[in-house]
Amino acid sequence: MQQLYCESCQRFLADRFVVGSCPVEGCGNDTARGDQCDRCGRLLNSTELIDPRCKVCEGIPIVRDTDHLFLELPLLKEQLEKYIDEASATGSWSQNAVRITDAWLKEGLRPRCITRDLKWGVPVPHEKYKDKVFYVWFDAPIGYISITACYTPEWEKWWKNPENVELYQFMGKDNVPFHTVMFPSALLGTGENWTLMKNISVTEYLNYESGKFSKTKGIGVFGNDAKATNIPADVWRYYLLSNRPEVRFRLN
Ligand SMILES: [Zn+2]
Ligand SMILES: [Zn+2]
């Protein structure tokens, strides 16, 4: 496949190492990342970015060939759609989870690259790909299962028991496609009897007054600010939980 490569940094620019304009018509975000546009939520391959720039040196990358492993989502289409239809009808899915997943299916399933030319990460256990690591959103959800296996040898009672276990997950809206499309596909593709997510509760972004929280720009209320008010921690917890934005919301 083709990937962006920065000649001055001498490395391939995966995911967060490259920014550029989002290719989705009408989106207009000029700081979309190599794997996802934060504004419209579309998952991207880095070569789709318009006017890409290296995040490290601001240089203009070139396109180079490299070998990678892919998750063949088109082959899993039928199974995946059946899972989504059933889980979203019988389980509890927040509206934004349904909307984001539908938009993803409507766009058409494409093979997704699951390896990266990076030094940091989980190495790929295959001779030909031993210098590569897995894409973080391929290996991170496997962690839900492997951390249970670290805790108990009886992990299969939870993760391979869909008849008796109902799985709930909570997340921000930018993580939806990884949990409703990518990870279920990876599990379905094994042909084994995994416990798939049945209920998903998704929050919108929490805004501060009329803008985004930004640690770098100092916009928002952070742990040290909250502490300095001397308002007890339980009051903060209650306020945030009761205002947890399942619809668009501002902190005033
Ligand atoms: Zn976009
Ligand atoms: Zn660079």
Quote the CA–CA distance of 241 and 234 in Å, as a whole number: 10
CA–centroid distance, residue 125 to ligand 2 (Å): 28
Are 162 and 194 contacting, i.e. CB atoms less than 8 angstroms apart? Answer: yes
> How does pLDDT run across 26-65, given as a tens digit for each residue?
999 999 999 889 888 888 889 999 999 999 999 999 999 9
Q: Compute how many other C-beta atoms are within 10 angstroms of the C-beta atom of residue 201.
A: 15
Burial, 183: exposed, middle or buried (Cβ in 10 Å; 0-12, 13-18, 19+)? buried
Q: Residues lining ligand 2 (ion), CB within 5 A?
A: 6, 8-9, 54, 56-57, 59
- Provide the pLDDT for residue 249: 52
pLDDT class for 165, splitting at 50, 70, 90? very high
Q: How many residues does the chain have?
A: 252
Q: CATH number of the domain at 2-65, out of 1.20.1250.20, 3.50.50.60, 2.170.220.10, 3.90.78.10? A: 2.170.220.10
Q: CATH number of the domain at 70-202, out of 3.30.420.40, 2.60.40.420, 3.40.50.620, 3.40.50.300? A: 3.40.50.620
pLDDT class for 15, splitting at 50, 70, 90? confident
Give residue 218's Cα distance to chain centre. Answer: 25
Complex ipTM, two decimals?
0.92
- The residue extents of the domains of the chain are 2-65, 70-202, 206-251
Give residue 172's Cα distance to chain centre. Answer: 9
Q: Compute how many other C-beta atoms are within 10 angstroms of the C-beta atom of residue 230.
A: 6
Dihedral sign (CA 237, 241, 243, 249): positive
Query: Given phi > 0 = left and psi -120 to 50 = alpha, else beta, which region is 174?
Result: alpha
Q: Percent of the chain scored above 70 by pLDDT? A: 97
CA–centroid distance, residue 13 to ligand 2 (Å): 8
